[in-house]
Structure 1
Amino acid sequence: MGAKDAVEACGRCAMSSAADLTDGRSPFAGEDVIEVDEGELRAVSAHVVALGRLKARLNAWASEFTYGR
């Protein structure tokens, strides 16, 4: 495929190809999978949410300080 060929940048083709390989079967059929309860996930990721909010506030402050808006 050359650089000038029209291709989709979204990756949909690759996902369609991967899904076609499974023939409609789950790739995890017969395998043990790890499932985490939503409440447990929220409990262990609270620091990520807090740091994300802190980052947003710092970015807003830096933009206001830099551009005076």
Structure 2
Amino acid sequence: MAANEQQEPLTGPVPGLRRRVWCRGCRRLLTDPESVRRRWGPECDPDTRNGHERHDVDQDPIPGL
């Protein structure tokens, strides 16, 4: 092999393709850029300051409790 002929590494990412990232909690494939950055899906993220909106429901108390 000549000095100017070098093999390309096989471990690097393929150019033009996005890398796949799975949620740390439920192991689902993440697509949202913020979720990919944090590696947590919106349902599994332990930090509530992540920018995902919470939906709280007002409920009447259960009778007898």
Larger RCO, structure (CA 8 Å, separation 6 or more): 2
Question: Which has more helix, going by share of residues?
Answer: 1
TM-score range, shorter chain: under 0.3
Q: State TM-score, norm by structure 1.
A: 0.23
